[in-house]
Structure 1
Amino acid sequence: MSDTALSIDGVTVPRVLYGTAWKEAETQRLTELALRQGFRGIDTANQRKHYFEAAVGQGIAASGMPRAELFLQTKFTFRGGQDHRLPYDPAAPIGAQVEQSFASSLQHLGTDAIDSYVLHGPSTRSGLAPADWEAWRAMEALHASGRTRLLGVSNLTLEQLQELWRGARVKPRFVQNRCYAVRGWDRAVRAFCAANGLTYQGFSLLTGNRDVLAHRELARIASRHGRDVNQVVFRFALAMGMVVLIGTTRASHMRADLDTSGFDLEPDEVARIERIAG
């Protein structure tokens, strides 16, 4: 597996994506900045509550980056995860909501196709409801039309992933989850992904793991490699086979985070990090 990119069904997927959540008025500037610093993968969502997808598109346009060089990933979010600024008619059937949200995303991002379209979490905490299957079937239709090249799912349990995998006609190619050390770095979901050819996308690797970042073992490993602890966590995630989401707002941090391919962790170091909060 390449440190910088992998190929999934003919789509080039950067191993490091720039996450655009919670950027608000800074979204356009930071998206453009990230692209200028070297990011080629952008993760967003048509969920105005936490993302400003239209400003992501403005940042992409301002960067002048050719569409062919970019990996664009966005999401459909159910009504329960939205505020009043909806990208669809809430009275419409779920399948129509998916179509409306997707059409809005194409317009926001200034493109005629999305590289990866993600179901932004199931509608229930346990199992999959009829609404989840209606949304997934609509996403499968988008895939069949060629308007999205890959499908994925986010914020789900192992049991939900297993259920989706059994019933999906078009299998998800990505799982995007919060990756917490206190939960074994989402070990069970990652194991399912590895066994079934899915790619795991990890987020909240820093914000969700403050104790790990402060751990003396991580500091020792970072010192040995002449790196900072953030870079070591990202290098660890890459060594575990993840695609990494990074949402930093500083140009210097963007460059440093993209530089994680410049060193390798020893197998015993990877094992020690995995055990820090095991």
Structure 2
Amino acid sequence: MTASAIFEKLVLHAPHISTKQLIPAFIYGTAWKKDATTDLVYQALCNGFTAVDTAAQPKHYREDLVAAGVSKAIKEGKVKRSDIYLQTKFTSVQGQDPDNMPYDKNSPVTEQVNASVISSLQNFNFTDVVKDDDDAEPYIDTLVLHSPMRNIDETMEVWRTLEQYVPNEIRNLGISNCNLFTLMDLYERSTIKPSIVQNRFYPSTKFDIGVRKFCQEKNIIYESFWTLSANPNLLWSAEVGSLAEQVNITPQSALYALVLGLGNVTILNGTKSLKHMQEDWDALQKVKGLAKSQPQQWEQALTAFRKLIGQPRP
């Protein structure tokens, strides 16, 4: 892989899918957007984003308004459903608002999972706006288990219920907020292997060096979140500042580029600013240009960043 290739779309390795699925460097994050969700998703899809993350968790997400933003973009010809990567989550009772959840909290967990998936598929039904028959039936590109359950047996019960929807209604499965040991156990026990791990990228987990290494070995894409807000020491470091100055981008965009440079990584980018949406995508092109024209300088920047986060050379 060339140095500049890290900013291209990553391939989701799913042997049960006949067509190659791609996931871009940035996924638009929609947590806590509330009533602004529709407009922000539409704006994101009109300004470089082709992937959106949400959850069937009304406490923090408005999955229905995400769908409304996507529908508007499709209807106006800004995007096609087949060009968009839509990712949502099943969230357990413990992570839900007890007065507002997509299933009966007193029902068995398998019924909770089924009800949650059905509600997501209903939201992602774009039959009234899609023009391609291949996109007529609603589907979810990746369904993420929002957090492991209380123990591995309960986690596997949820996972096996989700597996029944693959590859038709759900194309891929993933897990979030997961440590290395749980991930390894899940991978070993599952029939449909996780395609995605979505975790906080921050010092408390030593930047998930072990998890990311496992993901690379198993062709699992690592999705970084809290990349900016949890890392002020990285954001204002000399290493990040040096790259920002070298290619004339913001420190925020430079940190994103360096995290992507670790390889096999995508980033949840939840900016509400149109300016920042455009800046972040433009910055990737600038850094890609540096990596292509001056690979030694780019590798020096990456080496310094790996050292900063305590990661050995690959």
TM-score, scaled to structure 1: 0.94
Alpha-carbon separation, structure 2, partners of 1:190 and 1:33: 31
1:176 equivalenced with 2:198 (yes/no): yes
Mapped partners of 1:2, 1:185: distance in 2: 19
Within the alignment, does 1:106 sit opposite 2:121 as a pair? yes
Kept in 2, the 8 Å contact 1:184–1:274? The answer is no
Aligned pair 1:121/2:147, yes or no?
Answer: yes
For each residue in 1:101-131, what CA deviation from the matched residue of structure 2 results, as whole angstroms up to 9, or x when unmatched? 011011122251101111111123xxx3332
Contact 1:4 1:261 (C-alpha < 8 Å) held by counterparts: no
Tell me the amino acid that sits aligned with residue 156 of structure 1: C
For 1:174 and 1:120, the matched residues in 2 are separated by 11
Unaligned stretches of 5+ in structure 1?
none
Equivalent residue of 1:143, what SS?
Answer: coil
The code of the aligned residue for 1:77 comes to T
TM-superposed CA distance for 1:181, in Å, is: 4.2
Q: Which residue of 2 is the match for residue 95 of structure 1?
A: 110
State how far apart, in whole Å, the 1-side matches of 2:8 and 2:94 are. 35
CA distance in 2: counterparts of 1:13 and 1:276, whole angstroms: 27
- Corresponding residue SS for 1:63: helix
Please say if 1:4 is aligned against 2:8: yes
CA distance in 1, matches of 2:95, 2:245: 41
Report whether the alignment pairs 1:76 with 2:98: no
Q: Is the contact made by 1:44 and 1:73 (CA closer than 8 Å) also made in structure 2?
A: yes
Using the alignment, how far apart are the partners of 1:181 and 1:232 within structure 2?
18
Q: Is the 8 A contact 1:213 1:230 kept in 2?
A: yes
Q: Deviations over 1:27-47 (max 9, x none)?
A: 111111111112000000001
Q: Which residue of 2 aligns with 1:36?
A: 46
- Identical-pair percentage: 34
- Letter matched to residue 257 of structure 1: D
Distance 1:30 1:243 in 2: 20
Question: How far did residue 2 of structure 1 move?
Answer: 5.5
Q: Partners of 2:242 and 2:122 in 1: how far apart?
A: 48
Aligned 8 A contact 1:175 1:198 in 2: yes
**Separation in structure 2 between the aligned mates of residue 221 and residue 110 of structure 1, nearest angstrom:** 43
Q: Contact 1:87/1:101 (CA < 8 Å) preserved in 2?
A: yes
Query: Secondary structure of 1:185's match?
Result: helix
For 1:156, the equivalent position in structure 2 comes to: 178
CA offsets, 1:66-97, max 9 Å, x none?
A: 21111000000000010121101112221111
Residue by residue over 1:132-189, the C-alpha shift from the partner in whole angstroms, topping out at 9 and shown as x without a partner, is: 1111001110115x11111111001001101101101110011010011454321010
Question: What are the residue-to-residue correspondences of 1:170-249 with 2, within 5 Å?
Answer: 170-181=192-203, 183-241=205-263, 242-249=265-272
Cα deviations by residue, 1:205-261 (Å, 9 ceiling, x for unpaired): 101101211223321221112111111111112211201110000001001112233
Equivalent pair of 1:80/1:123 in contact (CA under 8 Å):
no
- Of 106-115 and 68-77, deviating more is 106-115
Rounded Cα–Cα distance in structure 2 between residues aligned with 1:91 and 1:135:
16
Q: What SS does structure 1 have at the residue aligned with 2:110?
A: helix
CA distance in 1, matches of 2:208, 2:90: 23
1:137 aligns with 2:169: no
Q: What's the offset of the Cα at 1:277?
A: 4.6
Q: Alpha-carbon deviations, 1:38-64, whole Å to 9, x = none?
A: 200000000111111111011111223
The count of aligned residue pairs is 274
SS at match of 2:147: coil
Q: Structure 2 unaligned runs (5+)? A: 15-19, 127-137, 292-297
User: Could you tell me how far apart the structure 2 residues matched to 1:30 and 1:96 are?
Assistant: 32
Q: Does 1:274 align with 2:306?
A: yes
Q: Secondary structure at the match of 1:49?
A: coil
Match of 2:276 in 1: 253
- Distance in 1, matches of 2:107 and 2:157, equals 12
| TM-score normalized by the length of structure 2 | 0.83
Counterparts of 1:82 and 1:14 in 2: how far apart (Å)? 29
